[in-house]
Amino acid sequence: MSRLPLPKSARPEGVQRPSPGGNGSNGDVRVLQPSTPSPQSFGLSAGSVCAEPMQRPEAEVCMDAARKGLEAVRRAWGSIQEAPALAALLAHLPRSTLHEVGLCCVERVPDEWGVPLSSLPNLGASPDCLVCHDIMASPELSSWIRTADTGALSRRQLEAILAEVPWSADGGDDRGSPDPFSGACADPLFPLDLPAGPPVRVVDAGDGRLRVQVVEVVEVKSTCPFSYRSRVGGPKGRPRGSWVLRSQAAPSDVRAAFIPQLQLEMLAAGAASGLLVQHTPNRGMTVKRVFRDDELLKSMLEVLRRFQSEFVVRVDRPPRPPADVFLDSRAQQTLLRKICQAAREAAGQQMWHVGPLSAVESSLALVEEERCSARTIASLLEWKDAPFLRRC
């Protein structure tokens, strides 16, 4: 990735914080200044407060962002938190680099699947990034790899290789630099000729050892800490509500809805595995490895091919597909069972847990256009009883 630490324009000078006093949107809102923020902390100093009030129009913009509803807030939250989640992941992978990636298109489907690419719609997937691991294999592993076909590794062989990936529990001290983001600007280990390139490449490092380079997709899922509780009791009996902050631990399971997305990303990017990063604002994050399942992908493409032929490329006007399309078919039921099974299997994989860096570790990782709504989020993280936010 070209540069994970965000540019200065993406870091607000302070995070808006309403005082405990005040009423409604006229409450005294102050700015909490960060004390020399660093990539390691993403945090705020609890002590340095200046008396610069937030302008009323800016407060109204924050209110308007909250009025858009919970789903809009969740979408904005996921977009804002992607960068800090990737930064935290990079800090704990001392011998790996992250690479920015756009849309990866599916350009080839194995012939043995029996699903011609011409019978499918245009398919593509966009992982949040690609991670490239640089592994110095042990002599035993090197000897074993020399006899294997790295273009067609078995699941067991890939697991053995990935088990050698260095993981720094203390956030990057193994990089040999006090800055855990020093690897963010490193040149790619090798040109990524996706999707045709193999996910594993081997280079002779001498002394009987091999240097193994592995590419995985990365998908970030952020847990939104906000919920909206509505109740009756407003003017003329209208419902009214308030925003509530929930402190949730990073999930240890894997939702079945994530599996098709990850599998298609692996197919499009030519990868054999992927990392699912489940990130929370103040309770750390978990990292799970999900392996590519060709049988599952084949079933997905077969259902998609049927949908394409019955509802898209018909000579006559195609009928409108029902909400429960194919739900009663045996193929669809088999596919759903495979997806649920893959989710359970992924949940049982080795998990890395990254603890929180600070109570508001992600507040500074904001894009410029999200500045106002992000200040609303940061205010809630610091002040659960923010009066002007409760009046949404």
Note the pLDDT tens digit of each residue in 106-150. 999 999 999 999 999 999 999 999 999 988 888 888 888 887 766
Mean pLDDT of 237-261: 80
Helices marked H in 56-183:
56-67, 70-91, 139-146, 155-162
Which of 84-97 are b and which e, b meaning 16 or more Cβ less than 10 Å from the residue's Cβ?
Answer: bbbbbbbbbbbbbb
Q: How confident is the model over 294-304, as pLDDT tens digits? A: 999 999 999 99
Per-residue confidence band for 208, with pLDDT thresholds at 50, 70 and 90: confident
Q: Which structure tokens are listed for 58?
A: 């800016």
Q: Does this model's pTM top 0.95?
A: no
Residue 328 and residue 296: Cα distance in Å, rounded?
Answer: 19
Residues 6+ apart with CB under 8 A from 193: none
The per-residue pLDDT of the chain, averaged, comes to 70
Per-residue confidence (pLDDT) for residue 216, from 0 to 100: 95
Strands (E), 151-238: 200-206, 209-222, 226-232
Write down the domain spans for the chain: 8-390
- Percent of the chain beyond pLDDT 70? 61
Half-sphere exposure of 44 (CA within 13 A, CB side): 26
Closest to 366 (Cα-Cα) out of 353, 358, 375: 375
Mean pLDDT of 277-291: 87
Does residue 366 carry a pLDDT above 60?
no
* Element (DSSP H or E) covering residue 242: strand 239-245
Sign of CA dihedral 251, 256, 259, 261: negative
